[in-house]
Structure 1
């Protein structure tokens, strides 16, 4: 197979679309952002490996990869050239005959012949003049076409007077032309996904496929043959058990239904609202809803019935049922595990197993949860925490040596330091508040406080006093003071030295002196 090997997550998506949703290789390729020949290659590998669907429970990505890509065996690459004249004739005259079928027959005759990718590439070079015209026949419940109107509607902020350009989302069903429209503040991923959720709810079911235009919110990288679908958009499709098939670039017939729906919405809804003033998005959507009902019930000119009646007769019975709960907006990002076995999500840090340090993970997060995945396997799950600069740590994720630190608390360190002396406690509190996360100071404090066993608590108290005066608050600085006997010598120009850190959580030595006396 040419090119870069797919991720296991994308391979599993290919298998799901093929065996669970029964989609064609071309549709799967469009949905997953790969070539149809690549899809065919993976399906063939599955067949050769004797897999069954669904895949065995617990089958890891590593095991699946080894089964799909066994070590290559040497072979003679000098297969006979295919007869492309005969190939062309078969494709033109035989119904349901495909290049994949013809290649399989060729390989049966010539086991050492050329591979599928070479076979397709060279045939297409030979048949460069072939003009393939795709006929569009929309079955009931098959496709929902989605697009944004080019026209916007002004929404005025009643408090500031600021004018927002509301975007108009349009969805059209292929068979009945039943239309849905709504206004959103942007075309960003949150509004894009939300509009799909509300469109499915409006229709009361889910189509087999969704055909979007090449919008950046849904398609990360625009390419005629291999559009890369946004992971969040893929997650939406998986939740509703449908498939995303983006319209091809510069192929207007792929999105003709959507373009026609947009034109109708602009003529029959937006044109009628041109003289209205709206002060909220809800007010605008209420007006759109009323005119949308009129549009869908408007009788056809050349056909019997209306969009509404054809929807009830054709599309509605064929739609797949909605899931038990609507899709919850999820975000995806790639992260590298830090040396402290945490990953960052929106300014907060979540732990993962320490064995994954420096590994790249995928994180899926919603307003309520954070999931960390490695090779498509969930390795950590947390409740979402909005506190920036904080850490959420699961004890089992720590290395064994670090787990013992989880038994410590700032209060425990403070009590230990107070037994040694007020200056030691001030230094301890200072280190705890200086670090973004108190646990980051634990190892340093353990080292400092244990110096009292080697040098005596009285000398450690004097060393902490000196360290505070010169603002040298580290284990190495205090150890150096004790090792060189500086704790027993007066500090030069003490009055000119930096004052210790002032903080509302640090009581200071005077507090403890007054408490003692």
Structure 2
């Protein structure tokens, strides 16, 4: 079994009040496996925060899957079982326990019992009035009808999408206009909805749009960003079944009411921004929630205050920050991975491993085995790199520390001329310039070979001839020019006396022999 299945089942156990049967169905595991997962979690006193702190390998070692196959069993009377299930608070596991006590070894296991019961239900056509408990669930969807608005800057007409959320127990309704139905707006709509409610229900029931469900079906795959938001708020996402409108009847009714009482009046007005739409929408939404029920006493707001609000989970300290997940990639030998054409570092021990990147507006988070291993401020400079020095091996950290400041500290120990030559290597360059560092490394090698005194003298001579390069210094030291105590441009020396050389007195006379 994949470790993500364990995480999904544990998330359902820790963050919802689902029965084992519901949890097993949502996590696509057998009831026995679900029972074992819950047993291990309870034995270890795990909460969701503890599970999040474990990586995939640690989590997987805690579980062992066991499957049992049984035959020669007696099939229950499903008609009688189904009639008993109509009673309030009656659970299937209680009926199975009675069935097992009667038939002993001839009884089916609970997983088989529930399987055959589902098969029986699929052959009958029953419509049941659903009962939603306080704080249990919220139904979310987009309305089909949009709200037009005009962008005066671009000179274009746009259509605002209307997000609708309805609490199952009180029917308290939320609506919010967004630019699109894309993932970013979908996530922000949920942030706005939870803030509007002042709390979080146990379950969110969306339709199967792409922003919520990447792969619909019997085992739907929740969008990873959406799942992360649900974990942040401590709720569970349970998508409605495909082509099963009864699963989201509250959402359908909420969309209908929002269209009638909010969208239609707003479409008769002229708007020039989404902010204007949401301000006007809030006023109409207040009227809708305080509108009296036809068949019940009170209104949506009063029932929300009385039933749903006390049962909602508290909001976290900070709202969820939107982030998109990038496909996993292998860490290169330079312990960096590319995210949106910019390289970010991870600990060097992860070279060759695969990491996932989460991109938010302000930060880049990198994960290995579902555990965060690095976080960097977001930088959209293409081709550049962001490196945490602590991610480098010790040898690389020592090499990276060789900046202009590092070499100047060394040069001051030799003398003023050497420090001026070092400064010349970094002139017009960054303190961590590779070319400047290489030149200073060669200068250190010359000092080690020729001695500090000669190098200081050679630097002084190189500065005097205005050629403070490593090539000039090497030539000066090689030809021992640093040992000649003379100026760079020596004055002409006196010509020594000689019998054949005429002195100045000869030329001072009035006449001379040709």
State the SS of the aligned residue for 2:190.
helix
Structure 1 residue aligned with 2:9: 14
Residue number among 163, 168, 179 corresponding to 2:173 in the alignment: 179
1:294 matched to 2:291? The reply is no
C-alpha deviation, 1:156, in angstroms:
0.8
**Corresponding residue of 1:24:** 19
Alpha-carbon distance change, 438 to 253 in structure 1, aligned in 2, over 3 angstroms: farther
CA RMSD of aligned residues (A): 4.4
The equivalent residue for 1:326 is 319
* Paired residues of 1:29 and 1:226 also in contact (CA < 8 A): no
Equivalence for 1:500: none
| Separation of aligned partners in 2, 1:50 and 1:174 | 30
Correspondence for 2:347 among 337, 353, 358: 353
Listed one character per residue, the Cα deviations across residues 483-510 of structure 1 (whole Å, up to 9, x for unaligned) are: xxxxxxxxxxxxxxxxxxxxxxxxxxxx
User: TM-score by structure 1 length?
Assistant: 0.70
In 2, Cα distance between equivalents of 1:360 and 1:241: 28
Q: Secondary structure of 2:45's partner?
A: coil
Secondary structure, counterpart of 1:283 in structure 2: helix
> CA-to-partner distance for each residue in 1:103-137, whole Å, 9 max, x for gaps?
9969x9779x9998888778877997466867521
| Structure 1 counterpart of 2:374 | 380
Give me the whole-angstrom Cα distance separating, in 2, the residues matched to 1:166 and 1:158.
15
Please, which of 92, 99, 111 is the counterpart of residue 97 of structure 1?
Answer: 92
1:272–1:94: structure 2 CA closer, same or farther, 3 Å change rule? Answer: closer
Give, in whole Å, the separation in 2 of the partners of 1:397 and 1:220: 34
Alignment map for 1:51-450 (pairs within 5 Å): 51-54=43-46, 60-69=55-64, 81-86=71-76, 88=78, 91-92=81-82, 96-98=91-93, 129=123, 136-221=130-215, 223-336=216-329, 337-409=331-403
- CA distance 1:161–1:133, shift in 2 (3 Å): same
SS state of the match for residue 43, structure 2?
Answer: coil
Does structure 2 retain, via aligned residues, the 8 Å contact 1:90–1:97? Answer: no
Does the aligned pair in 2 maintain the 1:167–1:187 contact within 8 Å? yes
Does residue 5 (structure 1) correspond to residue 5 (structure 2)? The answer is no
| 8 Å Cα contact 2:23/2:34 also seen in 1 | no
Deviates more, 1:448-457 or 1:254-263: 448-457
Question: Alpha-carbon deviations, 1:392-440, whole Å to 9, x = none?
Answer: 2222322333222211237879999x98xx9xx99x999x99xxx9788
Q: Specify the alignment match of 1:503 in structure 2.
A: none
Q: Secondary structure at the match of 1:382?
A: strand
Partner Cα distance (2:108, 2:405) in 1: 72
Contact 1:332–1:363 at 8 Å: present in 2 too? Answer: yes
Verify the 8 A CA contact 1:370 1:384 in the aligned structure 2: yes
How far does residue 369 in structure 1 lie from its aligned partner after superposition? 3.2
Contact 2:81 / 2:95 at 8 angstroms: preserved in 1?
Answer: no
Q: Relative to structure 2, which stretch is displaced further, 148-157 or 20-29?
A: 20-29
1:494: which partner in 2?
Answer: none
How far off is 1:98 after superposition?
4.2
How many angstroms apart in 1 are the aligned matches of 2:41 and 2:296? 52
The 8 Å contact of residues 15 and 202 in structure 2, kept in 1 or not, is answered as no
Q: Where in structure 1 are there 5+ consecutive unaligned residues?
A: 458-517
Take 1:440 and 1:233, find their aligned partners in 2: how far apart are those partners?
44
> Quick one: distance in 2 between partners of 1:25 and 1:429?
70
Task: Report the CA distance shift for 1:219/1:20 in structure 2 as closer, same or farther (over 3 A).
Answer: closer
* Larger of the two Rg values belongs to structure: 2
Compared CA separation, residues 390 and 29, structure 1 to 2 (3 A): farther
Q: CA deviation at 1:382?
A: 2.8
**2:139 touches 2:165 (CA, 8 Å); kept in 1?**
yes
- Aligned mates of 1:91, 1:448 — CA distance in 2: 88
Question: In the aligned structure 2, how far is the partner of 1:359 from the partner of 1:290?
Answer: 53
Query: In the TM superposition, what is the alpha-carbon distance from 1:18 to its structure 2 partner?
Result: 0.9
Q: Encode CA deviations 1:186-209: one digit per residue, 9 max, x unaligned.
A: 111111111111111111111111
**Aligned mates of 1:34, 1:323 — CA distance in 2:** 25
Seen in structure 2, the aligned counterparts of structure 1 residues 227 and 414 have a Cα distance that, compared at 3 Å, is farther
User: 2:204–2:238: 8 Å Cα contact kept in structure 1?
Assistant: yes
Task: Give, in whole Å, the separation in 2 of the partners of 1:138 and 1:371.
Answer: 38
* Structure 2 residue corresponding to 1:47, chosen from 39, 43, 51: 39
Assess, with a 3 A threshold, how the Cα gap between structure 1 residues 119 and 366 changes in structure 2: closer, same or farther: same
